[in-house]
Amino acid sequence: MSMFKKLLASVGIGSAKVDARLHNDSLMPGETVSGEVHIVGGEVTQEIDDIYMYVITHYEREYDDKKVKEECILGKHRLAERFTLKSEETKVIPFSFQLPYETPLTIGRQPVYLRTGLDIKNAIDPADSDYIEVRPTPLMSKVLDAVKEIGFQLYKVDCEYNRYLGRTYPFVQEFEFRPTGRYRSRLDELEVIFFLRGDELEVLMQIDKRARGLLGALEEAFNMDERYARIRLTAADAERPTSHLAQAIDHVIQQNLR
């Protein structure tokens, strides 16, 4: 009977179970993820080689004119070294680590989740997934509000493969705005990308001009109608009125339309 139970445990029946319990499932990039991993033994004693936790998201990549979703591991954390888990024994292991600064915000349908698993030799490793909310930092929120203040409406947020602009990871999260005010006749869209590092935020803006006449059509055909501009913000900017930042962004757009 004991041998039969071991055989069942090796294929995931009667094996150990893992459950990650977060102290807080709503976080900003750079904040601390903390909680406890609860492990309950199965019907037989098992050797646990590793407990790991991945931070995972998805991004889109184009293949043969089709967009496919790819998984991206933002971080991997080893939570415990090898130990023996007896039958029906319960172990609780606390964990704490920093959420990467380049974790995308979970605006729209963008998923970010933690995958916790046990590494058990000769067995199907039990795993547990927990979705988290990733909120904008105060500086990010101020930028998004400032862009809306000068007459743009957010219509799309997604993570796209981009080896040129991506830094730690092969993608960037794009916030795409459409003009609703005085820029409606001059711009097709405005894209905003965030690069966060501690208390500093770099904002990359792609300004997509609307094509005008033959020259405009040629510029659009060769992507010459797109211009990039950067602004850098610090923690002090979070204390300033949104209208001040709106004026600064408006000035940058005006310069790139000349």
Confidence of residue 255 (pLDDT cuts 50, 70, 90): confident
Higher pLDDT: 257 or 203? It is 203
pLDDT tens, position by position, 209-234: 765 543 444 344 445 457 889 999 99
Beta strand 32-40 pairing with 127-131: unpaired
> What pLDDT was estimated at residue 98?
97
Same domain? 145 vs 119: no
CATH at residue 212: 3.30.1460
Same domain? 163 vs 120: no
Provide the domain limits for residue 128. 2-134
Reply yes or no on whether the pLDDT at 246 is more than 70: yes
Same domain? 9 vs 130: yes
Confidence of residue 5 (pLDDT cuts 50, 70, 90): very low
> What pLDDT was estimated at residue 210?
63
DSSP codes joined into one string, the chain: -HHHHHHHHHTTSS--EEEEEES-SEE-TTSEEEEEEEEE--SS-EEEEEEEEEEEEEEEEEETTEEEEEEEEEEEEEEE--EEE-TT-EEEEEEEEEPPTTPPP--TT--EEEEEEEEETTSPPPEEEEE-EEPPPHHHHHHHHHHHHTTEEEEEEEEEE-TTT-SSSSEEEEEEEEE-STTTTTEEEEEEEEEEETTEEEEEEEEEEPP-HHHHHHHHHTTTTEEEEEEEE-GGGGGS-HHHHHHHHHHHHHHHH-
Confidence of residue 181 (pLDDT cuts 50, 70, 90): confident
Higher pLDDT: 39 or 136? It is 136
Same domain? 198 vs 152: yes
CATH at residue 96: 2.60.40.640
Q: What's the mean pLDDT in 52-59? A: 95
Confidence of residue 241 (pLDDT cuts 50, 70, 90): very high
Q: What's the mean pLDDT in 75-92? A: 89
Q: What's the mean pLDDT in 6-13? A: 40
Ranking 14-18, 21-25, 73-77, 187-191 by mean pLDDT, the lowest is 14-18
The mean pLDDT of the chain is: 85
pLDDT tens, position by position, 103-151: 999 998 899 999 998 876 654 556 788 999 999 999 999 999 999 999 9
CA 117 from centre of chain: 21
Same domain? 73 vs 122: yes
> What pLDDT was estimated at residue 96?
96
Same domain? 149 vs 105: no
